[in-house]
Amino acid sequence: MRVAIINGPNLNLLGKREPRIYGTQSFEEFLTVLRTEFPAVEISYFQSNVEGELINELHRVGFEYTGIIFNPGGYTHTSVAIGDAVAAIKTPVLEVHISNVHAREEFRRHSYVSPHAIGVIAGLGLQGYALALAWFSNQTSA
Ligand code: CA2
């Protein structure tokens, strides 16, 4: 089973800035933990700060993979094009946010992705990605 993790803008700074909101671990460090915890899942990882590159990656993995775990970062709240890309692909997308977007500024409560996602996890830190992986694993073994 192949699952793609896609992170949007600024998430390359995880572990380097704003530890109170986003924690102290880099995503690359966390990825080694995920790969150990889910040996049966082939996990691809892509991060970009560029909107079109995120769309290209959604198109690349969106017809062959079992699932996509997608944190669109700030584009969640602004990008019609990213929402359209999620709507256009076949692979189910689980939207993940590290912080609780509903407990922050009002503008973070709207997502262009959520209407097209199979589900949303927010506010559980990096553990949200592990829960999303567990969900995809259970789907295929059920
Ligand atoms: O909580 C999340 O995962 C967000 O998608 C993160 C985005 C934010 O715009 C969304 O509203 C919620 C921002 C990512 C910024 O990531 C940083 C990580 C470390 C240091 C600074 C920024």
Q: What is the mean pLDDT of residues 17-36?
A: 90
Give the pLDDT score at 119. Answer: 98
What is the CB neighbour count within 10 angstroms for residue 26?
Answer: 15
Verify whether residue 97 is a known catalytic residue: yes
- Which residues have C-beta within 8 Å of that of residue 127, sequence separation ≥ 6? none
Tell me the C-alpha distance between 78 and 48, whole Å.
16
- CA 47 distance to own-chain centroid: 10
Candidates 6, 97, 102, 127: which one to mutate for ligand 1, based on the most atoms within 8 Å of Cβ? Answer: 97
Q: Vertex 60, ends 56 and 63: CA angle to 5°?
A: 130
pLDDT of residue 142: 47
DSSP state of 14: T
User: Is the per-residue pLDDT at 69 higher than 90?
Assistant: yes
User: What is the token pair recorded at 11?
Assistant: 């998430």
Ligand 1 neighbours by CB, cut-off 6 Å: 10-11, 13-14, 17-18, 22, 71, 73-74, 76, 97-99, 101, 108
- How far apart, in whole angstroms, are the C-alpha atoms of residue 95 and residue 92? 10
Q: Of the CATH numbers 3.40.50.9100, 3.30.1490.20, 3.40.190.150, 3.20.20.70, which one belongs to the domain with range 2-141?
A: 3.40.50.9100
pLDDT at 141: 61
Of all residues in the chain, what percent carry a pLDDT higher than 70?
Answer: 99
Q: What is the greatest pairwise CA distance in the chain?
A: 40
Is residue 140 very low, low, confident or very high in pLDDT (cuts 50, 70, 90)? confident
What's the average model confidence in pLDDT over 40-50?
Answer: 98
For the whole model, what pTM was predicted? 0.96
Does pLDDT of 67 surpass 80? yes
Q: Is the pLDDT assigned to residue 63 strictly greater than 80?
A: yes
**Residue from 6, 7, 11, 120 whose mutation best tests the ligand 1 pocket (most atoms within 8 A of CB):** 11
Q: Is 22 a catalytic residue?
A: yes
Q: What is the pLDDT of residue 20?
A: 82
Q: What is the mean pLDDT of the chain?
A: 95
Give 97-131 pLDDT, tens digit per residue.
Answer: 999 999 999 999 999 999 999 999 999 999 999 99
- Angle separating helix axes 51-61 and 80-88, nearest 10 degrees: 10
Looking from the CA of 125 toward its CB, the CA atoms found within 13 Å total 12
Query: Of the residues 65, 75, 97, 116, which is catalytic?
Result: 97
